[in-house]
Amino acid sequence: MAGTHPAAILPQKGCRLLVGERATPEPGPTEVLIEVKAVALNPIDYHQRDFGLPPVPIYPAIIGSDTAGLVAKVGSKVSTVPAPGGRVIAFASPFYQNGSSDHGAFQKYALAQSEGVVALPDALSFEEGAVFPLAVMTALTAWTTIGIPLDTKYAPQDKQAALIWGGASSVGTFAIQSAKSLGFTVYATASPKHHDYLKKLGAHAVFDYKASDVVSQIVNAVKKDGVNLHTAHCVVDGSLQPTLDVLKEIKGDAVAKVSHLPVLPPDHPTLDKIEIKFNFPPMDPALRDNHMYQCFHGWLQDGLKSGSVVPSPSVQVEGGGLEGLDPALDKLRAGGAESHNDEVRLWLVEMNTVLSQNRGNFLSYQAPGTYRQAAITLLAAPPARSRYLNVVRNFTTEVGNWLDGQDWVVEDGFFGVSREPTDDFVSPAAQLLGGNGTWTELGKWLVGG
């Protein structure tokens, strides 16, 4: 298909997207050229734009994964997708294509592997169709990662159950839908405002992850229901330990399996007879293409035809075309800060006030009890969608370990940091307060400044 088309081009890491023209590619033998009508945004998109992570091997680059649109042209060996003009859902990620900009979603025409292209039902809009690809691929990969085939069909008498920790996220909602389709009795965690919605998607019971007794609530419910809970999907950061706490109480001598979406740190918690695996598709290209085919042409296509799979969560449409991508990504990125617990934010604001005052090498602060406990919770489990995820993880690990070793912190409610390289915990402190006494970018973000 000769000619050019508009695209949102990323010149370099950390730059804004620039709308310009690029050559329209011809599809390879197993590829499909998509006329993009709608895209969905994911946290990975602003991570790639702002930090180049996951790695972007080639600049200028086109990023983005999730599309819905019309088939413009198909490769010579493609026989499994609608003919040109057909409405489709397409996984157009350049991540598995060596960063090829022909495959990025943020452009008028994008290539996609035929394994990741399926028909979009007439009852669904392009905007609704675009929410499926990456979230579906990720949610389904969780099951195959721990050895559960996507054609699994447990019967009610099998009494098999699964726990989804982080059910209200896009991946979490499809984890619930897919777990239900596999025959699991589904238990999930989410904020109370999402409970009814997640039950409509297929969750048997939903629990408030912020509740102090959430582990015992889940354990008691599972025991009462008389099911076997040996399978879990940790969708968000900070979910592994409570998941292990649940499994420890109810799995007995059975081997349990946990799929973990966030990258597992080397020192992650473990438990005997529990297998914990990082959620990632096969690295071998042929195996990965086959896995993608099973996800899209198997589970998703069958679910769309039967109506058992629906777009989730609720679609929020942002206008503006290609020019509107940067503002929309900024809004998505800011959502991580907006999701902080208000008590944590208040505690950090007060801490900021104290740290900004020059009181010498050592600064101590007695925080109100409620705020202090919320802050300690933050220090123990970094935010799931942090734009500084690795920095926050390192900071919280170091300060959290230090807090655990200070009895007076628990007893009296003090929190101390050093502004000079004289204490063991200067490294995390330096990530909040610069050498000149000013608040760092991380610190500003944490307090919403």
Per-residue pLDDT tens digits of the chain, which is 449 residues long: 679 999 999 999 889 999 999 999 999 999 999 999 999 999 889 888 987 877 888 999 999 999 999 999 999 999 999 999 999 999 999 988 888 999 999 999 999 999 999 999 999 999 999 999 999 999 999 999 999 999 999 999 999 999 999 999 999 999 999 999 999 999 999 999 999 999 999 999 999 999 999 999 999 999 999 999 999 999 988 899 999 999 999 988 889 999 998 777 777 888 889 999 988 888 888 999 999 999 999 999 999 999 999 999 878 888 789 999 999 998 887 764 333 333 334 434 444 444 444 333 223 333 333 334 444 444 433 332 233 344 444 444 444 444 444 433 333 333 333 333 333 333 344 445 444 445 555 455 444 44
CA nearest neighbour of 221 among 257, 259, 250? 250
Number of structural domains (the chain) is 3
Contact (CB, 8 A) for 4 and 23: yes
Give the C-alpha separation, 110 to 25, whole Å: 8
Tell me the residue range of the domain where 88 lies.
Answer: 4-131+325-333
Is residue 292, in this structure, part of any structural domain at all?
no
Which residues make Cβ contacts (< 8 Å) with residue 420, sequence separation at least 6? Answer: 361, 426
Q: Is residue 306 part of a domain?
A: no
Query: Domain boundary at 317, 333, 349, which?
Result: 333
Note whether residue 311 is domain-resident: no
Q: What is the pLDDT of residue 88?
A: 99
CA 371 to chain centre: 27
CATH of the domain at 192: 3.40.50.720
State how far the alpha carbon of 141 is from the alpha carbons of 101, 174, 225, 296, 395, in Å: 25, 11, 27, 12, 30
Question: Could you tell me if 27 and 111 are in contact, meaning their C-beta atoms sit under 8 angstroms apart?
Answer: yes
The closest alpha carbon to 250, from 279, 268, 225, 281, belongs to: 225
If asked whether residues 26 and 110 sit together in one domain, one would say yes
Same domain for 144 and 166, yes or no, is: yes
54 shares its domain with 92 = yes
**Residues 369, 262 share a domain:** no
Is 49 within 8 Å of 10 (Cβ atoms)? Answer: yes
d(CA 111, CA 163): 36
With vertex at residue 202, the alpha carbon angle to CA 198 and CA 205, rounded to the nearest 5 degrees, is 65
Query: Would you say residue 225 lies in a domain?
Result: yes
Residue 315 counted as domain residue: no
439 and 384 housed in the same domain: yes
Whether 351 and 252 share a structural domain: no
Q: Which residues of 126-144 are buried (b: 16+ CB within 10 A; e: fewer)?
A: bbbbbbbbbbbbbbbbbbb
Q: Are residues 247 and 379 in the same domain?
A: no
Question: Can you give the pLDDT at residue 441?
Answer: 54
169 with 53, same domain? no
Q: Let me know whether 155 and 241 are in one domain.
A: yes
- What HEC string does 393-424 produce? HHHHHHHHHHHHCCHHHHHHCEEEEECCCCCC
CA geometry: angle at 269 spanning 394 and 277, to 5°?
A: 100
Return the sign of the alpha-carbon dihedral for residues 217, 219, 224, 228: positive
In this structure, the answer to whether residues 215 and 105 fall within a common structural domain is no
> Which residues have C-beta within 8 Å of that of residue 254, sequence separation ≥ 6?
228, 230, 273
* Domain end among 333, 356, 375: 333
3-state per-residue secondary structure call for 223-286: HHHCCEEEEEEECCCCCHHHHHHHHHHHCCCCCEEEEECCCCCCCCCCCCCEEEEECCCCCCHH
> Same domain, yes or no, for 274 and 380?
no
